[in-house]
Structure 1
């Protein structure tokens, strides 16, 4: 066992005592110069790593005061999920070596030799802890890696082999698979994956993240235990769907910076393909709605999607708008069409149909009640007009 230095101070060549902040600055400077991968780590991920490095420095100083190989502080146990997802085991060992070497180079005076001797035991024990951490993580997550995640996103978007992929994800420790929502960011947006995963895990869910056609694709899924496999929402499922939709809004506000398109919440991951396609198509056309909110549902973009060739959007417009108008009173369809063709002028519509303006107001009120939205609102009128044009 190494002999302990008489005190735990680290002294620089100038003779002044080094603070933890000064040591951290020296360590980060050394890592920036020696480790190319560290220089290009995303800011949020670098912040998490800097926190680990700071803990490592504190642990090293503490250990050198009372060196005991059987009692090395467990530096990595505080943030194992972030570490394993952020960097490889090889990079972690490089982090340890650079950190300890930078601290050793800062030592001068009679205690320097004792510190360096103690650092050998410290580095060795810390390397063992890191190896153990990565081994345990791999054992708990099976064959999970980024390639599997990207294959899963491809399956969600295409709908091919999605049920089998959901089973495969669960087999390797992914805890999603229950109620699911797909969110697609605007082209060019980026996502902080570390923050994303912390948010969804704290909410009892899991996530898949990737980039397709230049857009960030997020698949958020609640834990799938005890959910039915028949595609129906379970009892209390509406509340759970609301919670998932709320989580999606929270995630978007935290990890994305531009407009994001939300699909519908579905009962399980295996049913997410149609919702994902709607979100992807919506993300491609959302820029054409100049006053679109920053968080917009794919079904709020039905006219833009339909006009750009989305057959699902066209069928939905017909089913939700044209069919109810045709099934309603005999004068509804004509009244709505003429009202819209006259620039939403009630008086102009009344003259064209040779009826009183109040009759038009009454009919429009009945139509709005049936459709579930006020067709006199400009955006809603545009949606209805698109539906009528698509079937004319």
Structure 2
């Protein structure tokens, strides 16, 4: 951000006599010390936050107040003046210790005190020109302070975006070591919170800010950054309890994502576990095109068959391992599931094929759902079970 051009004070335009201007400025310079002392006393009495600052910060505010009053004298004389130069006396770290609102309080209090001191310490003939000058000067200082804070915020935002992008890249690459957790901590991220990773198409830049605000309203912490043609989002916070709850929350953010599927990985413990969630979400996002009839926002586990067919070894092991083994643990459940699927999901046909009562079929189907989490009477879940049985038998062979 380029600094504004120098401004010139109001005294030359008000007082035509060079001799009179010199006399006014001489009398003003003689009382600047008293004005500075009165300003600090007013800060102490009017603002509680001033008394809570450490001694070093109070000392720098003293320097700033003195610099501001001296700058008023130079500006009033018509010398070249840039408002930002008043703040050059203080270190850059002061912008992190004193908020913009506190800086406004400082400018307002200094202006009020200088006006009061003009009435108390200077002749009546000097007051009108000096009062008009301090009003214009305080405006210049306020704009200068706003410019400094805006520049600091812009630089901080750019720096935070770079750190956020490196954290996202490390999660995608499964390289979440201590240095990555430290970078996330500098962004205010709670590294111990449960997380899920969601992947969608990259939206327009403006939508990312809206996504952040909407996530905050839902109680979700968010780290996000485009990664190629995909948007990778890490959601965390107390609102993340389990995968299904997280998926429902992410579904409420659909208007802020680009068109296309949104795939949510399983919940993980802390940012260190986020790579597993990211891997599953990325695999699901690649395979989502094979199930366009599915919901727009879905869990990666909802796409296990498509992921397995697209070459995801983790999905194959989940289907052929955990799901199949929970079914194969009972021979009668496995036989009933296969018979039910082979009979076109008909209770009566299954009972005839297995020589058991239809109520027995219903009872066993209920047990199959309890054991695997999938209901054979649902067409989609029956497809998952069929794929699990096929892969399980292949792995066991």
In structure 2, relative to structure 1, the CA distance for the partners of 1:278 and 1:190 (3 Å cut) is: farther
Q: Partner of 1:306: helix, strand, or coil?
A: helix
Choose from 142, 153, 156 the match for 2:168.
153
Mapped partners of 1:199, 1:134: distance in 2: 26
Mapped partners of 1:324, 1:195: distance in 2: 43
- Contact 2:194/2:240 (CA < 8 Å) preserved in 1? no
Q: Partner of 1:264: helix, strand, or coil?
A: coil
Mapped partners of 1:242, 1:371: distance in 2: 16
RMSD over equivalenced CA pairs, Å: 3.4
Q: Which runs of 5+ in 2 are unaligned?
A: 1-8, 12-81, 84-134
Look up the match of 2:187. Answer: 173
TM-score (norm 1): 0.58
Write the mapping of 1:88-107 to structure 2, written as runs, cut at 5 A.
Answer: none
Q: Partner of 2:344: helix, strand, or coil?
A: coil
In structure 2, relative to structure 1, the CA distance for the partners of 1:286 and 1:189 (3 Å cut) is: farther
Task: Give the C-alpha shift of residue 153 in structure 1.
Answer: 1.0
Mapped partners of 1:133, 1:243: distance in 2: 39
Task: Give the C-alpha shift of residue 138 in structure 1.
Answer: 5.2
Look up the match of 1:317. Answer: 319
Write the mapping of 1:351-390 to structure 2, written as runs, cut at 5 A.
Answer: 351-390=352-391
- Pairs aligned (count): 262
Mapped partners of 2:249, 2:301: distance in 1: 19
Write the mapping of 1:1-392 to structure 2, written as runs, cut at 5 A.
Answer: 1-2=9-10, 126-135=143-152, 144-170=159-185, 172-177=186-191, 178-185=193-200, 187=201, 189-190=203-204, 192-202=207-217, 205-222=220-237, 247-328=249-330, 330-392=331-393
Mapped partners of 1:213, 1:271: distance in 2: 22
Task: Give the C-alpha shift of residue 261 in structure 1.
Answer: 0.9
Deviations 1:101-147 (A, max 9, x none): xxxxxxxxxxxxxxxxx9999678535422233336757x8x93433
Task: Give the C-alpha shift of residue 238 in structure 1.
Answer: 7.2
Q: Partner of 2:159: helix, strand, or coil?
A: coil
Task: Give the C-alpha shift of residue 384 in structure 1.
Answer: 0.2
Mapped partners of 1:240, 1:366: distance in 2: 24
- Contact 1:339/1:349 (CA < 8 Å) preserved in 2? yes
Q: Partner of 2:253: helix, strand, or coil?
A: helix
TM-score (norm 2): 0.57
Higher Cα radius of gyration: 2
Mapped partners of 2:190, 2:218: distance in 1: 11
Bigger helix share: 2
Task: Give the C-alpha shift of residue 208 in structure 1.
Answer: 2.1
- Contact 1:189/1:258 (CA < 8 Å) preserved in 2? no
Deviations 1:168-201 (A, max 9, x none): 221x33334222121111x465461111222334
Task: Give the C-alpha shift of residue 347 in structure 1.
Answer: 3.3
- Contact 2:198/2:232 (CA < 8 Å) preserved in 1? yes
